[in-house]
Amino acid sequence: MHNESMTELLDKAVARVRALTPETQDEYARVLMSLADDAAEPVVLSQEERAAIAVSKAAAERGEFASDEEVRAVWAKHGL
């Protein structure tokens, strides 16, 4: 039997996610739902998401990757 209330840790995590942009909240929600569903269906990507992945793959093929400084900036932007 499951408990319908959240644990304190999950409640804290959700509170932190609420402070993020709507787009980032959706990304976190997708990950959480995927982890929570043992028989999860694949996430259907939008055309915009598919295009972004294609751009990223092309950059990787060219050997273009984010610098350490750029990666640190992204982490800092999200408080990590």
Q: What is the pLDDT of residues 18-65, one digit of tens each?
A: 999 999 999 999 998 888 876 657 778 999 999 999 999 999 999 999
Residue 67 counted as domain residue? yes
Residue span of the structural domain in which 16 resides? 8-77
Which pLDDT score, from 0 to 100, does residue 33 have? 87
Q: What is the pLDDT of residue 8?
A: 92
What is the number of other CB atoms lying within 10 angstroms of the CB of residue 28?
14
Instruction: Write down the pLDDT at residue 35.
Output: 84
Our count of domains for the chain comes to 1
* 55 located within any domain: yes
| Contact yes or no for 25/18 (Cβ under 8 A) | yes
- Asked, for residue 56, whether it belongs to a domain, the answer is yes
Output the pLDDT for position 40: 59
1 in a structural domain: no
Assigned domain for 21 exists: yes
Does 72 map to a domain? yes
The verdict on residue 3 lying in a domain is no
Per-residue pLDDT, 25: 95
Is residue 2 within 8 Å of 8, Cβ to Cβ?
A: no
User: What pLDDT score does 13 carry?
Assistant: 93
